Structure 1
Amino acid sequence: MRRRRQPQEDLHNKERWLISYADFITLLFAFFVVMYSVSSVNEGKYKVLSETLTGVFNAPQRSFQPIEVGDQSQRGTAAATDDVISPDIAETVDPALSEQDRSAELRTIADQLTLDFDELISQGVVSLESNKRWLELNLPDSLLFSSGSAEPHYDGFEVVKKIAGVLRNRDNAVKVEGFTDNRPIRTSAYPSNWELSAARAAAVVRMLAMEGVEPERLAAVGYGQHQPVARNDTEEGRRRNRRVVLLISRDASIRGTMR
């Protein structure tokens, strides 16, 4: 008796499990590939990432509340400047130095500032002028602050840190002057350019003190738009007028050297 042939459809139904099995094996292979990739950490990249995060979280705080003027009141003021100055600052230079010695000391400061800002001076961004009694370091406002603000941006701290490194452990008086262009500003914080320029000068003074320059050597003055060095009817002239100037005196008495 001849055996009955199974229908072709029944054979297909019995082999469908192979499709599911193949899909499962493929997924399992993909899973192990992913697990292997995750477990194979690039040690070099991991070390760089770890060191970067460590540096960010361990870095000192480099901001402070801007000086408020006008209608806004200052709340939660920072601790007194004396509290942030390092107690390890060396004693200042003997105030009884001769005039010749003080002139030589002023030239030394000029040489060090020229070296530290050599690139910016060669580019015409920063200028340094001197006479027998003063050094005048001229900084554009954009090097320290954002437009219309007296809160230093991050790069501004590095600039002031360089300056403070030269001025520390000396006794030369330092006057910081703030200037603006003639474009009016009227905000709750800065009713006029006078307040803005004075706040910027005071901000630089505070940063110098934070970096270890003795506060009794420092003074801040704001001139607003009233002492321009260029015409205010061009963008280039306005850019030159927006500046912060550090006047570093040969002498030690800040009030005796105010000009």
Structure 2
Amino acid sequence: MKKRRLHNHEDEHIDESWLIPYSDLLTLLLALFIVLFASGSINNDKLQQIMISMNSALKGQGSSLIMKENAGVTKQLQNSKGEEEKQQEKEKLQNLMGQIEDYIDRRGLNKVISIKDEPKGIKLSLKDIILFESGSADLKGNSLMILNDLLDLIKQVKNPISIEGHTDNVPITGGRFKSNWELSSARALSVLYFFEEKGIPSNKLQFTGFGEQNPIYPNDTLEHRQANRRVDITILKTD
């Protein structure tokens, strides 16, 4: 009877320490499958690191290594996603720029609208003559169709839009506005309101009036002053 009780007592204390490395191994395999599923392929060096961790897990040494490996996998996935999103945005903006260039060419608007890829985004410059009467901030009737056409293209992307008003250095005398600051701001705001009415969310829009402070050319000729009077519409990059 005594031997039997001893035998039963030993049965109640079965060594289950093998479950720890086994659970670590399952966790590591799960991390591996996540990486393979997310990227479709895996770097050889990264795979080798994972295999080392798996080997350590089998030897009962893998808990801390698995935690580090999982952190590395998460960071790698986040970086990969960020780079992919940046590349997708770049391709969309380049495609948009090509479509706008085609529109400008087809409509014969090269003398009044220009487009340029700048570090902060794709910038459209529209001379004031196509948008406003002299000294006015009210959009002209024929400008609405052009802005609407451009907006149909711009709506393909969800990037923020910056609208800037610019004037030449000729002082304003009389009329509705007291200065070029006010005129440039009012013109930018008119374009902003038009975009908002056409469905661009207000939190994606911003405007600035620069007056005569940012000329493209010296204000020394009629042609240069006309070029300086403009509204710049920039589809901003988000990176």
Normalised TM-score (structure 2) = 0.61
Residue 243 of structure 1 and its aligned partner are, at CA, apart by 0.5
Cα pair 2:92 2:157 within 8 Å, conserved:
no
Deviations 1:119-170 (A, max 9, x none): 4667432111103541011110010000000001101111210121012253
Deviations 1:6-47 (A, max 9, x none): xxxxxxxxxxxxxxxxxxxxxxxxxxxxxxxxxxxxxxxxxx
Q: 1:230 aligns with which of 217, 220, 233?
A: 217
Normalised TM-score (structure 1) = 0.57
Cα pair 1:126 1:140 within 8 Å, conserved:
yes
Q: 1:136 aligns with which of 116, 123, 127?
A: 123
Q: 1:98 aligns with which of 85, 95, 106?
A: 85
Deviations 1:81-115 (A, max 9, x none): xxxxxxxxxxxxxxx87111111111121112112
- Counting aligned pairs with the same residue, the percent is 31
Cα pair 2:93 2:157 within 8 Å, conserved:
no
Whichever residue aligns with residue 113 of structure 1, its letter is I
Bigger relative contact order, structure 1 or 2 (CA pairs below 8 A, ≥6 apart): 1
Q: For this pair of structures, how many residues does the alignment match? A: 158
Q: Point out the more displaced range, 106-115 or 221-230.
A: 106-115
Cα pair 1:174 1:219 within 8 Å, conserved:
yes
Determine which structure has the larger helix proportion and give its number: 2
Q: For residues 236 and 151 of structure 1, do their structure 2 counterparts lie closer, same or farther at Cα, with a shift above 3 Å needed? A: same
Match of 1:168 in 2: 155
Gaps of 5+ in 1: 1-95, 252-256
Whole-Å separation in 2 of the counterparts to 1:121 and 1:177 = 24
SS in structure 1 opposite 2:218? Answer: coil
Q: Point out the more displaced range, 189-198 or 123-132.
A: 123-132
Whichever residue aligns with residue 201 of structure 2, its letter is E
Gaps of 5+ in 2: 1-81
Pair 1:189 & 2:176 matched: yes
Backbone CA RMSD of aligned residues: 2.1
Q: Point out the more displaced range, 159-168 or 235-244.
A: 159-168
